[in-house]
């Protein structure tokens, strides 16, 4: 048994959760935040047999797409009299970060 932990863009999480459920996998969807942009994302957990890991990762790839967004960087600490002019920066967001972990024991109570 494996535990798949997929950290995905919040906009992709509902579609991914539905696709995994439709494919017969039990999933848990957790709202999370963090990272460079401090934006909301989601963590999707799925316990699957080892033989299904590649299939689940295919579903994640199909449902979680990368995209670009314009963001304003956080202002640095400036000295009195200095002016900080934030210009938008284009960054790539989305996609998925996937971890596959061994499960030593699994019980459904």
Instruction: Report residue 89's pLDDT band, with 50, 70 and 90 as the boundaries.
Output: confident
pLDDT of the residue at 16: 96
What is the dihedral sign for C-alpha 10, 11, 15, 18? positive
Q: Which residues pair with 97 in a beta bridge?
A: 7
Residue 21 in this model has a pLDDT that exceeds 90: yes
Hey, what domains does the chain have and what are their CATH numbers?
2-73+85-102 (3.30.70.120)
More confident of the two residues 65 and 89: 65
CA distance 67 to 11: 11
**H or E stretch covering 33:** strand 27-34
pLDDT of the residue at 92: 66
* Sequence-ordered list of residues with C-beta below 8 angstroms from that of 62, at least 6 positions apart, any chain: 19
Q: Say how far residue 26 (Cα) sits from the centre of its chain.
A: 17
The per-residue pLDDT for range 23-81, each reduced to its tens digit, is 999 999 999 877 655 667 899 999 999 999 999 999 999 999 887 777 766 666 666 76
pLDDT of the residue at 78: 60
Angle of CA points 31, 54, 97, to nearest 5°: 35
């Amino acid at each position: 048994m494996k535990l798949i932990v997929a950290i995905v863009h919040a906009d992709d999480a509902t579609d991914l959760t539905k696709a995994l459920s439709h494919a017969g996998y039990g999933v848990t969807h957790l709202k999370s935040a963090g990272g460079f942009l401090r934006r909301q994302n989601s963590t999707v957990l799925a316990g699957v047999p080892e033989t299904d890991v590649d299939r689940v990762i295919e579903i994640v790839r199909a449902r979680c797409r990368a995209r670009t967004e314009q963001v304003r960087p956080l202002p640095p600490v400036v000295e009195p009299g200095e002016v900080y002019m934030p210009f938008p920066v284009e960054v790539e967001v989305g996609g998925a970060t996937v971890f596959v972990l061994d499960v030593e024991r699994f019980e459904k109570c």
